[in-house]
Amino acid sequence: MDVKKYLIVNADDFGQSRGISQGIIKAYESGIVTSASLMVRWPAAVYAAAYSREHPRLSLGLHVDLGEWIYREQSWVPLYEVVTLESIPAVREEVVRQLAAFYELLGKQPSHIDSHQHVHLREPARSVLLDIARELQVPLRHFSSAIGCCGRFYGQTTEGAPFPEAITSERLIETLAGLPEGFTELTCHPGEGNDLETMYLGERAQELKILCDPQLPARIAAMGIELCSFANLQRSSWPASDGSV
């Protein structure tokens, strides 16, 4: 390939609800999404996995789900917790369980690994997922020296306040224009409907609209950026993570 910039557009939360899954499918079929990350604990995971089996070009990773937190009264409080994050054995057991569920649903290993609300940026989830990613020889978000991660396409601040200007066509193009050479993963969260209690909901429809902008592929190509997915890359191209972000 002649271009020097490669973009993986990865949709998180695939399988968390039917509406979110349908939005991700639409963003793949009619937009620029090239990969997704599956949450295996939720009932809609069966629906999402079935679609993925029928559409193998959509690379599918594991979105490790250890809980979700919302910002209330100037602090983060749990909406739900799967395990105690301070317990190494509990975290490891749950991650292994979710990985086994992924195998059961897809019949193959994930093309990449990341986590809900980036819990793997902190210990002990960090070390647990680093070990598993090395064993599987797949990239772990933020920890692969071969690929960068861009999370600027997100409609809330770090405190959960609305930030709609971050999910506009203009902001996305500005972000993509500044990408470095090599591989970059752009994270996104498209979705449809209102069938889930979550801190990030109304913004999903706006993300979906932008990701499906019919002019977007041509604008991306004009910047010398080639869309690709984790499935396009050979496992040998992912050197072992060194643990640094």
* 113-162 confidence digits (pLDDT tens): 999 999 999 999 999 999 999 999 999 999 998 899 999 999 999 888 99
- The residues that bridge with 64 in the sheet, in sequence order, are 115
Mean per-residue pLDDT, 170-177? 97
Note whether residue 242 is domain-resident.
Answer: no
- Cβ(105)–Cβ(46) below 8 Å: yes
Average pLDDT, the chain: 93
Grade residue 212 by pLDDT with cuts at 50, 70 and 90: very high
Question: What's the average model confidence in pLDDT over 3-7?
Answer: 87
Residue 76 has what pLDDT? 85
For residue 87, being part of any structural domain is answered with: yes
Range of the domain at 108: 5-237
The answer to whether 207 touches 30, Cβ cutoff 8 Å, is no
Please state, in angstroms and rounded to a whole number, the distance separating the CA atoms of residues 96 and 64: 10
Residues 30, 215: Cα–Cα separation, whole Å = 11
Write out pLDDT tens, residues 12-49.
999 999 999 999 999 999 999 999 999 999 999 999 99
Q: 138-168 in b/e burial notation, b at 16+ Cβ within 10 A?
A: bbbbbbbeebebbeebbbbeeeeeeeeebbe
Q: Which of 71-80, 107-116, 186-195 has the lowest mean pLDDT?
A: 71-80
Q: What is the C-alpha separation between 11 and 60, in angstroms, rounded?
A: 10
Those residues with Cβ within 8 angstroms of residue 87's Cβ, 6 or more apart along the chain or in another chain: 124
More confident call, 76 vs 148: 148
Question: Would residue 14 count as lying in a domain?
Answer: yes
Residue 29 makes CB contacts below 8 A (sequence gap 6+) with none
How many other C-beta atoms can be found within 10 angstroms of the C-beta atom of residue 202?
A: 11
Residue 142: which region, alpha, beta or left (left: phi > 0; alpha: psi -120 to 50)?
left
pLDDT at 3 > cutoff 70: no
User: What is the mean predicted confidence (pLDDT) over 62-74?
Assistant: 91
**Residue 224 pLDDT > 80:** yes
pLDDT band at 74 (very low <50, low <70, confident <90, very high): confident
User: Could you tell me the CATH number of the domain that includes residue 98?
Assistant: 3.20.20.370
Looking at the domain assignment, is residue 178 inside a domain? yes
Which residues lie below 8 Å from residue 7, measured CB to CB, with a gap of 6+?
Answer: 34, 176, 179, 183, 184, 186, 220, 225, 226, 227, 228
Considering 12, 13, 65, 114, which one is annotated as catalytic? 12
Residue 102 falls inside a structural domain: yes
Q: Other CB atoms closer than 10 Å to residue 105's CB: what's the count?
A: 19
Percent share of the chain, pLDDT over 90: 85
Contact status, residue 111 vs residue 14, Cβ threshold 8 Å: no
**Segment 196-205 mean pLDDT:** 92
243 within some domain: no
Predicted confidence at residue 234, as pLDDT, reads 57
Number of domains in the chain: 1
12 is catalytic: yes
